[in-house]
Amino acid sequence: MKTFVTPIVAFLANLAMLSSMSAANPSTESLTVGGGCFWCTEAVFEQTPGVKAVVSGYEGGAIPNPTYEQVCTGRTGHAEVIRIDFDPTQTSADKLLDLFFLAHDPTTLNRQGADEGTQYRSVIFYSSEAQKTAALAAKERSQKELSKPIVTEIAPSTTFYPAEDYHQDYFKNNPNAGYCTFVIRPKIEKLEKQGKIEKSK
């Protein structure tokens, strides 16, 4: 007997199939943090399991579409940040935030090493109440391991502005540059030895 499939039945079948595919491939989540120079934080999270992409940029200030030169003055209100796009089935905001607090010094106000200014402040920009809760919990966990108070700012996200192209994948593209050799590489090697990030290939 020939089976007759009505258009509505076919539509519902296709809808169910799409829903199943969506459940098997959940959408990417994003987290935005700043921990000093974005070259450093970008390099760390690009070697983190579950992370799909890392984009360096600026956030937190009042000037739209800021340039690197403007942000470097420390007068724009923007911080150097990275947007981390990750697969929630492979990692979580909790794990990424724990690594964030480990990968920089969250106890120094507007400073990371020799980099000084509000643009280098430690900050987490949350985009949901769940991220805010995760950020506060990660801060509390990290504080137990530190003798000095954490000064990391936890604030609602505003507008993320991607940095200029030459800032993207900076460590990958400039592994022998002075800053990469003396600042980024030791940080990467330390985290690799601790098993916090994947070893670079």
Between the CA of residue 133 and those of 21, 34, 83, 163, what are the distances in Å?
30, 18, 18, 28
Among the options 37, 40, 72, 180, which is catalytic?
A: 37
> Collapsing DSSP states into helix, strand and coil, what is residue 79?
strand
3-class SS of residue 7? helix
How far apart (Å, rounded) are the C-alpha atoms in residues 38 and 162?
Answer: 11
Task: Identify the CA nearest to 82 among candidates 62, 109, 59, 107.
Answer: 59
What are the CA-CA distances from residue 68 to residues 25, 84, 152 (Å)? 36, 20, 22
Query: If we measure between CA atoms, which residue out of 100, 77, 86, 91 comes closest to residue 161?
Result: 77
Query: What is the distance between the alpha carbons of residues 63 and 61, in angstroms, rounded to a whole number?
Result: 6
Query: Is 72 assigned a catalytic role?
Result: no
Active site residue ranges: 37
